[in-house]
Amino acid sequence: ALTSLVTLPGGWKVPHGNQLALLVGCGLLGGITQILMTLSLRYAEASLLAPFDYTTLIWSVAVGYLLLGNLPTSTTVMGAILVVAGGLYSVLYERYRFRKARVVNASR
């Protein structure tokens, strides 16, 4: 909070009307999202839920393009591919480990 005081003298403007409504809406939706993601961890392992969190990459690109006309740079696309590939590897590896453990337990 103290570091935000740096913006006070030169650039801070109090949001009004639509800006304030958008800020409150973003805060509420972000809070609800965090609560739902936390609750989802009660029902599944994090390694299985992580790919759903990666959909934020897709949504961010879509909203950025539709509302602002922004396209991601090539480095952003490469980074997103690496993140998604890592998530897929994690899910597939967990599946493999689970199946292997089930086979070992069944043979005992």
Query: How far apart are the C-alpha atoms of 27 and 21, rounded to whole Å?
Result: 10
Query: How far apart are the C-alpha atoms of 101 and 82, rounded to whole Å?
Result: 28
Q: What is the pLDDT of residue 48?
A: 75
Q: What is the pLDDT of residue 71?
A: 92
Greatest alpha-carbon span in the chain: 71
Ordered by start, the domain boundaries in the chain are 1-43, 45-108
Q: What is the pLDDT of residue 6?
A: 79
pLDDT tens-digit profile, the chain (108 residues): 678 787 777 777 888 999 999 999 999 999 998 999 899 989 888 777 877 777 888 888 899 999 999 999 999 899 989 988 887 888 788 888 878 887 777 776
Q: What tokens were used for 1?
A: 């909070």
Q: What is the pLDDT of residue 69?
A: 93
